[in-house]
Structure 1
Amino acid sequence: MLNILRRLVPPTGSEESRWERPSPTQEQLRRDLIGVVVFFLISAVALELSRGVGAMAEERSPIWLQHCVLALMIFPLVLRRRFPVAVMLVMSALFIVLSLWIPALSIQLSYQVAYFASLYSAVAWAKDRRVLWLGTTVVVVAMTLWLILSLTVSNTFDGMLERVSEGDETWRGILDPLTSAAVYNFMVNFAYFGGAILAGLSSWRNALQRTQLAQQAEQIAQQSAELARRAVIEERLRIARELHDVVAHHVSVIGVQAGAARRVMDRKPDVAAESLRTIEQASRQAVTDMRNLLGVLRSDTSVEGADDDGGRHPEPGLPDISALAELQREFGLDVTFSRIEDVSGALDDVSAPLALSLYRTAQESLTNVRRHSTASAAVMTLRTGQTAEQRWVELETVDNGRPRPRAEPGSGFGLQGIRERVALHRGAAEIGPRADGGWRVRARFLMS
Structure 2
Amino acid sequence: MIEIQAPGPDAAQQGASGHGTATPGKPFHSQRLTDRFRRFRLSLPWHAEDWERPVPGPEGLRRDLIGVSIAMVLSALMLEFLRGFAFGDGDYGNPWVQHLLQACIFVPLVFRRRFPVAVMLACSGIFLAVGVAVPLVSQTLGFQAAYFASLYSAVAWARNRRILWLGVTVVVAAMFLWIIFGLTVSSGMDEIMRSFGVTEGEIYGMFPPLTSYSLYTFMVNGAYFGGAIMFGMSSWRSAHQREQLAELAFQLEAQSVDLARKAVIEERLRIARELHDVVAHHISVIGVQAAAARRVMVKKPEAAAGALQTIEASSRDAVAEMRSLLGVLRSSDAQNPDEPAQRRPEPGIDDLPALFEDYRANGLAIAFSQVEEEPGLLASLPAPLALSVYRTIQESLANVRRHSTAAGAVVALRTGTSPMPDGEPQRWVEVETVDDGRPRPGTAGSGYGLRGIAERAVLHGGMTDIGPRDVGGWRVRVRFRVR
Alignment of 1:127-142 (within 5 A): 127-142=159-174
Which position in structure 1 is the counterpart of 2:315? 283
Equivalent position amino acid for 1:279 in 2 = I
Q: Deviations over 1:219-263 (max 9, x none)?
A: 333334434443343333222222112111210111111111111
Q: Distance in 1 between matches of 2:199 and 2:44?
A: 54
- Deviation (angstroms), 1:151: 3.2
The answer to whether 1:73 aligns with 2:105 is yes
Determine the C-alpha separation between the residues in 2 that align with 1:203 and 1:12: 14
- State whether structure 2 residue 266 is matched by structure 1 residue 263: no
* Larger Rg computed on CA atoms: 2
Which one-letter code corresponds to 1:90 in the other structure? A
Structure 2: unaligned runs, 5 residues or longer: 1-32, 331-345, 353-371, 382-389, 395-483
Q: In 1, Cα distance between the equivalents of 2:197 and 2:301?
A: 140
Correspondent of 1:241 among 273, 277, 282: 273
Counterpart CA distance in 2 for 1:126 and 1:255 is: 79
1:191 alignment counterpart: 223
Distance 1:6 1:58, change over 3 A: same
Per-residue CA deviations over 1:51-101 (Å, capped at 9, x if unaligned) read 111335424311111111111111211111111111101100110011112
Change (3 A) 1:33 1:327: farther
**Cα pair 2:203 2:209 within 8 Å, conserved:** no
Partner of 1:159: 191
What is the correspondence of 1:217-256 to structure 2 with a 5 Å cutoff? 217-256=249-288
| 1:120 CA displacement | 0.8
In structure 1, C-alpha distance between the alignment counterparts of 2:351 and 2:48, rounded to whole Å: 61
**How much identity, in percent, do the aligned residues show?**
53
Question: 1:277: Cα distance to partner?
Answer: 4.3
Matches of 2:198 and 2:272, distance apart in 1: 103
Q: Which amino acid aligns with 1:205?
A: R
> What SS does the corresponding residue of 1:16 show, helix, strand or coil?
helix
Give the number of equivalent residue pairs: 316
Q: Distance in 2 between matches of 1:51 and 1:72?
A: 18
Find out whether 1:8 has 2:64 as its counterpart: no
1:116 corresponds to: 148
**Partner residue of 2:180 out of 128, 136, 148:** 148
Q: Are the counterparts in 1 of residues 349 and 378 from structure 2 also a CA contact under 8 Å?
A: no
Structure-1-length-normalised TM-score: 0.62
Asked whether the 8 Å contact 2:193–2:199 carries over to 1, the reply is no
Match status 1:182 vs 2:214: yes
Q: CA separation of 1:14/1:293 partners in 2, compared to 1, >3 Å: closer, same or farther?
A: farther
Q: 1:330 to 1:297 in 2, by over 3 A?
A: closer
Q: Taking structure 1 as reference, are residues 152 and 169 closer, same or farther at Cα in structure 2, changes over 3 Å only?
A: closer
Which stretch shows the higher mean deviation, 115-124 or 6-15? 6-15
Question: 1:394 maps to what in 2?
Answer: none
- Distance (whole Å) between structure 2 residues aligned to residue 85 and residue 168 of structure 1: 44
Q: In terms of mean alpha carbon deviation, does 230-239 or 58-67 score higher?
A: 230-239
Q: Post-superposition shift, 1:44?
A: 0.8
Does residue 212 (structure 1) correspond to residue 244 (structure 2)? The answer is: yes
Q: How big is each residue's C-alpha offset from its partner over 1:123-168, in whole Å with a ceiling of 9 and x where there is no partner?
A: 1111111111000000011111221233345964342244468859
2:157 to 89, 114, 125: 125
Distance change >3 Å, CA 19–CA 149, structure 1 → 2: same
What is the letter of the counterpart of residue 33 of structure 1? L
Query: What code does the residue aligned with 1:100 have?
Result: V
- Aligned counterpart, 1:202: 234
Structure 2 CA distance for partners of 1:166 and 1:256, relative to 1, 3 Å: closer
Shifted more, 19-28 versus 163-172: the winner is: 163-172
Give the drift of 1:207. 1.7
Residue 110 of structure 1 deviates from its aligned partner by 0.9
Q: Provide closer, same or farther for how the CA distance between residues 246 and 228 of structure 1 changes in structure 2, counting only shifts above 3 A.
A: same
Q: Out of 36, 39, 48, which is 2:68 matched to? A: 36
Q: Is the 8 A contact 2:102 2:138 kept in 1?
A: no
Aligned partner of 1:55 in structure 2 is 87
Distance 1:102 1:286, change over 3 A: same
Q: Hey, what's the Cα distance between the residues in 2 that align with 1:247 and 1:295?
A: 16
Q: Which whole-Å CA distance do the structure 2 matches of 1:165 and 1:7 have between them?
A: 43
Does the 8 Å contact 2:92/2:134 carry over to 1?
no
Amino acid at match of 1:204: W
C-alpha distance in 2, partners of 1:169/1:158? Answer: 12
Relative contact order, CA 8 A, sep 6+: which one is greater?
A: 2
* CA deviation string 1:110-131 (max 9, x = no partner): 1111101110111111111111
Q: Give TM-score, length-normalised by structure 2.
A: 0.58
